[in-house]
Amino acid sequence: MIREGSINIPFLYAAGKAGSEFLVALRDRQQLLGSHCPACARTVAPARAFCPGCGGEEMPSVDIGPGAALVSWTDVPGRGVFALVRPDGADNAMLHKLLGPAEGLRPGSRLRAVFADERQGHITDIEGFEILGEGS
């Protein structure tokens, strides 16, 4: 027998030092932060405490975006368009919502982060990424 259902499990998440800096920058300055690894010269988004490439632990925060390039996307019926976006200055992509239709999108299309009017220190302080045009 299989019974369908869901379980709501409330929890608290400790964002850590790098994650907290990232969320405070979104909330207070409408700014995207990444982390730069001096060991391998990789810049990752959002900000992290250690390098996912080489494991380096010295990861100073750096400004990235608000511009971005579209990497990939999917249209989720009833929920909108979600995409992997590579913020300017970052070497990786992050998942977020696109503000606009999926028609005419191409990898490399230019995007820009749009911040929510009321921010709370959450990833949804970025309302989404608006589509600016085709990339180069």
User: Residue 135 has what pLDDT?
Assistant: 59
DSSP assignments along 53-87, one per residue: TT------EEEE-SEEEEEEEEEETTTEEEEEEEE
96 bridge partner residues: 83
What band does 16 get if pLDDT is binned at 50, 70 and 90? very high
**Residue 13 corresponds to which tokens in the numbers above?**
């998440």
Name the phi and psi angles at 25, rounded to 5: -65, -40
Average pLDDT, the chain: 93
Rg (CA), the chain: 17
Tokens of 131: 């589509």
- pLDDT tens digit sequence for 92-126: 999 999 998 888 899 999 999 999 999 999 999 99
The average pLDDT across 2-11 equals: 89
Which percentage of the chain shows pLDDT scores above 70? 98
